[in-house]
């Protein structure tokens, strides 16, 4: 009798485990938000899910207050983003304005090249959207300011030797070389003196370092970065300094730096 009772308990436990396991797998495959929701007054359901995900994946660098002072921060270069200021490098909006939700989503998905911010594309789209919702809770600006209109990006001019030459002259006349160096390797005379908006040393980007930039890899994304600037860094916007066709010339010149450096390394 005892044996039969024990057998029933084992069978029931096995069936329950199978049902729960199937439910968990189904939920994951359906793309539902994971993480560990932590209730907090004032959070929407999406922000609460994002809170759990943030505690699981982001708190080590960005800190519990979202100010970039996580326990890993002293060992990260460049320093983790301070979400409380709502100042973001990668945006489609004008300099000084808030990013769109899609900008934050793309940053989380893509990561930021040459930094400690990896791509979180393995997370489901729902999880990444939940993280965006929670990150926005760190700054009152997202409640007080209206979203800005993305900057327009005109059609790209065809690249040519003449365009690259004009871009090279702009690279010199606009003093891009003083930070990025004559050959674009981030070794200009001002490189060692640069700091970000919080006073931390920051290195100019090595324009020859492969196919990616901080916020993407396409010509359109580079054009966008030149016209929006990378807020929080010494890289300012060229929107008022250059015409669109001049910015395309600069994009083509920088593209030539990348190709030339690659060919040089493989010779």
What DSSP element (H or E) covers 152?
none
Each domain of the chain, given as residue ranges in start order, spans 45-144, 161-266
Domains 45-144 and 161-266 share a fold: yes
C-alpha pair distances (Å), 84 with each of 52, 118, 132, 196: 18, 20, 14, 16
Q: Do residues 119 and 110 make contact, with C-beta atoms less than 8 angstroms apart?
A: yes
Q: Which residue has the tokens 């729960």?
A: 20
Residue, of 20 and 81, whose pLDDT is higher: 81
Portion of the chain with pLDDT greater than 70, in percent: 81
d(CA 37, CA 153): 39
Q: What pTM value is reported for the model? A: 0.81
37: helix, strand or coil:
coil
| CA 179 centroid distance within chain | 22
User: What is 45-144's CATH number?
Assistant: 1.10.760.10
C-alpha pair distances (Å), 178 with each of 127, 164, 171, 174, 267: 41, 19, 10, 9, 28
> How many CB atoms are located within 10 Å of the residue 150 CB?
17
Q: Do residues 183 and 257 make contact, with C-beta atoms less than 8 angstroms apart?
A: yes
d(CA 46, CA 33): 9
DSSP 101-120: HHHHHHHHHH--TTSS----
Q: Do residues 49 and 55 make contact, with C-beta atoms less than 8 angstroms apart?
A: no
Q: For domain 161-266, which architecture applies?
A: Orthogonal Bundle (1.10)
Q: What is the pLDDT of residues 48-88, one digit of tens each?
A: 999 999 999 999 999 999 999 999 999 999 999 999 999 99
195: helix, strand or coil:
strand
d(CA 222, CA 167): 14
| Average pLDDT over every residue of 226-234 | 96
Q: What is the pLDDT of residue 209?
A: 83
Q: Is the pLDDT of residue 179 over 60?
A: yes
| Average pLDDT over every residue of 31-41 | 50
d(CA 211, CA 244): 23
Residue length of the chain: 267
Q: Is the pLDDT of residue 46 over 70?
A: yes
């Amino acid at each position: 009798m005892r044996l039969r009772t024990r057998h029933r308990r084992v069978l029931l436990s096995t069936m329950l485990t199978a049902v729960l396991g199937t439910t968990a797998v189904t939920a994951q495959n359906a793309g539902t938000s994971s993480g560990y929701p932590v209730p907090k007054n004032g959070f929407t359901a999406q922000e609460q899910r994002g809170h759990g995900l943030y505690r699981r994946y982001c708190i080590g660098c960005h800190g519990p207050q979202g100010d970039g002072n996580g326990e890993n921060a002293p060992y990260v270069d460049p320093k983790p983003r301070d979400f409380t200021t709502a100042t973001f490098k990668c945006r489609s909006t004008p300099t000084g304005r808030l990013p769109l939700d899609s900008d934050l989503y793309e940053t989380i998905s893509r990561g930021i090249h040459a930094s400690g911010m990896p791509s979180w594309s393995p997370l489901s789209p729902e999880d990444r959207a939940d993280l965006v919702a929670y990150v926005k809770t760190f700054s009152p600006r997202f409640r007080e300011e209206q979203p800005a209109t993305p900057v327009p990006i005109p059609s790209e001019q065809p690249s040519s030797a003449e365009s690259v030459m004009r871009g090279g002259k702009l690279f010199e006349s606009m003093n891009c070389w003083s930070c990025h160096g004559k050959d674009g390797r981030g070794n200009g005379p001002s490189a060692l003196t640069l700091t970000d908006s919080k006073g931390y040393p920051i290195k100019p980007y090595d324009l020859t370092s492969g196919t990616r930039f901080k916020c993407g890899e396409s010509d359109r994304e580079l054009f966008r970065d030149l016209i929006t600037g990378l807020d929080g860094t010494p890289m300012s916007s060229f929107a008022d300094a250059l015409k669109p066709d001049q910015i395309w010339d600069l994009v083509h010149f920088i593209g030539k730096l990348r190709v030339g450096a690659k060919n040089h390394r493989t010779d």
